[in-house]
Amino acid sequence: MKEEFLNLLRSTNRENIEDLIEFITKTDFFEAPASTRFHGSIEHGLLEHSLKVYEILKYKVEHSVIDIKTPQESLILIALLHDLCKANYYKIDYRNAKNALGVWEKVPYYTVDDTIPYGHGEKSVMMITEYIKLTPEEKYAIRWHMGHTEPKELYNTIGIAYTKYPIALLTYEADLEATYFYDT
Asked which of 51-65, 109-123, 147-161 is least confident by mean pLDDT, the reply is 147-161
φ, ψ at 25 (rounded to 5°): -70, -20
Percent of the chain with pLDDT over 90: 77
Query: How sure is the predictor about 116, in pLDDT bands with cuts at 50, 70 and 90?
Result: confident
Give the global pTM: 0.92
What does the DSSP 8-state code read for residue 39?
S
pLDDT tens track for 17-36: 999 999 999 999 999 999 98
| pLDDT given at position 152 | 76
Distances 43 to 56, 109, 130, 167 between C-alpha atoms, Å? 21, 11, 26, 29
What does the DSSP 8-state code read for residue 141?
H
Most confident of 34-48, 123-137, 145-159: 123-137
- Mean pLDDT across 68-76: 98
Query: How much is the mean pLDDT over the chain?
Result: 93
- Mean pLDDT across 32-53: 92
Residues 6+ apart with CB under 8 A from 57: 75, 78, 79, 170, 171, 174
| pLDDT given at position 143 | 96
Whether 184 has a pLDDT exceeding 60, the answer reads no
Whether 60 has a pLDDT exceeding 70, the answer reads yes
pLDDT tens track for 4-17: 999 999 999 999 99
Whether 81 has a pLDDT exceeding 80, the answer reads yes
Asked which of 71-80, 83-92, 112-121, 144-153 is least confident by mean pLDDT, the reply is 144-153
| pLDDT given at position 73 | 98
